Amino acid sequence: MSKTSFSDLIQRQAKKYGDRVALKHRDYKTNTWIPTTWNQFADTVTIVSNALIELGVDVQENIGVFTQNKPESLFMDFGAFGIRAVTIPLYATSSEAQVHYILEDAQIRYLFVGEQQQYDVASRVMALSPSLKQIIVFDRDVKLDAHDKTSMYMDDFLALGKSRQHQAEVDKRTAESQKEDLMNILYTSGTTGESKGVMLTHAGYEAVMDAHCDRFPGLGENDVVINFLPFTHVFERAWSCWCLVVGAELNINLRPQDIQMTIKEVRPTAMCSVPRFWEKVYAGVNEVIANTTGVKKTLMQDAIKVGREHNVEYVCKGKTPPMWLHIKYKFYEKTIYSLLKKTLGLERGAFFPTAGAAIPPAVQEFVLSVGINMVAGYGLTESIATVSCENNFDHEVGSVGKLMPHMQVKFGENDEILLKGPAITKGYYKKEAATKAAFTEDGWFRTGDAGYMKDGFLFLTERIKDLFKTSNGKYIAPQAIETKMVVDRYIDQISIIADERKFVSALIVPDYKLVEKYAADKGIKYESIAELLKHEAIITLFKDRIETLQQQFAHYEQIKKFTLLPEPFSMAKGELTNTLKIKRSVLNKNYAAEIEAMYAE
């Protein structure tokens, strides 16, 4: 059988790049970035493969990796691929119930964990999971439970393979790798229902790599990439695989909350991200402009206006800007745009694919206006990420780009986007009924998203299952309203309420710092944030801002009432998935009293 590209990818790249840096990770004790060369990467992967065979890992056995982003995640992935094993990443923030479910569903014997939080969860779950045989801990600083006699640290695990006593078996399995072998099972976090294991093959990943290299030949060995999203997320996982295929340098961000610091340390040329990252950038710049006065404020506002006209109206549409506009743009490029990008740590940035949720048009236009090449895209776990995406500065604001070369699309009932292609999942692990329901009778995958094509660009309209129907019979697309509202700098999180209700309302988590600053400027006295959010002046502030933002919506789509919440939505309360998507059913339960109060006569 033909060999897959991932079973020995790192070894082949090591022969090509040798002592060139492949990975870097931040050492928080010394505040320095530690490099790993391609040779070191390949050597560690080989040792991992040998150690896994020493433990008795079988062909296509499932191995769990439960950690924040760390180099060890990649060592485990490629060490497993070399012996035809399957890796199952778990989100570092997963609850005990989620971990227990995945361990039992996938019958995982060996679970690799990152830090103390993951170890503590895993060790508690171990007593409930007959399948789990051993926990292997990446971080030496993790304190093991006094009663734990089976767990080991990563360096002890690596010691099992250092002599390479099983290299002949490793080579045999690598040579026997098949394209239809499972590479990963990615469990969807799911806003409703139980999690499903999406089965992804080597052939699927290969098709994705080929398609991306074809569409974007510019990404290559001179790129410096920062890994910000979790490797568990299909977007970051597929993106990282592609970066390794083209020989780019990966800088692995351990703590998501540190991205604003690490991005300035790394100053990447490329990074994949979700819209929320850019929404925060947009809100931050708007806040600076709002607090600036005089000529400086006028220049900043004009720079964004000029950038929008130059890039969005001309460059992105393949037109040549007028000379006067181009001269003004170049002036701002050397002054305001360059300063902004340097402040963000993005002055070397060339390529920023963005997906995972709808991108507010105002945010997309702003990012493009200042010369940042944010490439909007659309994909699913079941399609190994990218279904469609924009090209470099070939943008249509509001779209999710053009179809990738390995994908076919058609539209079904209710304009549902249906997909075919070599990257589409084989189905859901051990869930025949769910797999059957996910495909049409003639083999098209049902995305659950509605959309349409125009001039070669794909547009999303709504999540079909997310449509709300008011008690007046009107259909509401909550995500469209939320996407519009969240661009406001005073709104941090929002959830629309409308299903079976007589009008649209909203639960809003404000940006507390901005609200407190507003209160200070207006001389408003308060004892707590909860008290402040009930103050008439604050409610009026939000009412006025919402009215401005929702003018484009039909009357029945507009927010009539809202509640400002003193605490943010959180994973701890079950209100958000691991990918930070809202679980509406949980919010409806947790805030039942607040919701009912908005509809009280």
215, 209 Cβ separation under 8 angstroms:
no
| Cβ-based neighbours of 327, under 8 Å, separated by 6 or more | none
The Cα-based distances of 597 to 328, 350, 537, 593 in angstroms read 53, 49, 20, 6
pLDDT tens column, 253-265: 999 889 999 999 9
578, 543 Cβ separation under 8 angstroms:
no
Query: What percent of the chain is predicted at pLDDT more than 70?
Result: 98
Looking only at the bridges linking them, the beta strands covering 197-201 and 427-428 are antiparallel
> Is the pLDDT at 585 greater than 90, yes or no?
no
pLDDT score recorded for residue 464 = 79
Q: What is the DSSP code (8-state) at residue 301?
A: H
- H-assigned helices in 58-95: 71-81
332, 306 Cβ separation under 8 angstroms:
yes
What is the average pLDDT score of the chain?
A: 93
> Is the pLDDT at 174 greater than 70, yes or no?
yes
Q: pLDDT grade, residue 4 (50/70/90)?
A: low
Instruction: Give CA–CA dist 294/515, Å, rounded.
Output: 24
Helices H / strands E in the chain, number of each: 22, 25
CATH 3.40.50.12780 domain range(s) in the chain:
9-178+216-266
Apex CA 352: angle with CA 351 and CA 355, to 5°? 145
> Is the pLDDT at 276 greater than 90, yes or no?
no
| CATH code 1.20.58.740 for 9-178+216-266 | no
Any idea of the CA torsion for 478, 484, 486, 488, to the nearest 10 degrees?
-150
| Cβ-based neighbours of 459, under 8 Å, separated by 6 or more | 398, 399, 400, 451, 452, 453
Identify which has the larger pLDDT, 502 or 89. 89
pLDDT tens column, 527-537: 999 999 999 99
Instruction: Give CA–CA dist 218/351, Å, rounded.
Output: 9
> Is the pLDDT at 268 greater than 50, yes or no?
yes
> Is the pLDDT at 2 greater than 50, yes or no?
no
**Which has the minimum average pLDDT: 140-149, 230-239, 457-466?**
457-466
Q: pLDDT grade, residue 8 (50/70/90)?
A: very high
337 residue type, one letter: Y
pLDDT tens column, 542-562: 999 999 999 888 788 899 999
> Is the pLDDT at 471 greater than 80, yes or no?
no
Superfamily of 467-599 according to CATH:
ANL, C-terminal domain (3.30.300.30)
Q: Is 198 exposed, middle or buried (0-12, 13-18, 19+ CB in 10 A)?
A: buried
pLDDT tens column, 371-393: 999 999 999 999 999 999 998 76
pLDDT score recorded for residue 189 = 65
pTM of the model as a whole: 0.85
> Is the pLDDT at 191 greater than 80, yes or no?
no
Overall average pLDDT of the 461-486 stretch: 82
Q: pLDDT grade, residue 454 (50/70/90)?
A: very high
Overall average pLDDT of the 345-353 stretch: 94
pLDDT score recorded for residue 580 = 78
| Cβ-based neighbours of 88, under 8 Å, separated by 6 or more | 62, 63, 64, 65, 102, 106, 108, 184, 185, 186, 187, 197
Residue 447 half-sphere exposure toward CB, CA atoms < 13 A? 29
> Is the pLDDT at 1 greater than 50, yes or no?
no
pLDDT score recorded for residue 190 = 58
- Return the structure tokens found at 297: 């404020």
| Cβ-based neighbours of 469, under 8 Å, separated by 6 or more | 475, 476, 499, 500
Q: pLDDT grade, residue 571 (50/70/90)?
A: confident
pLDDT score recorded for residue 423 = 97
pLDDT tens column, 322-332: 999 999 999 99
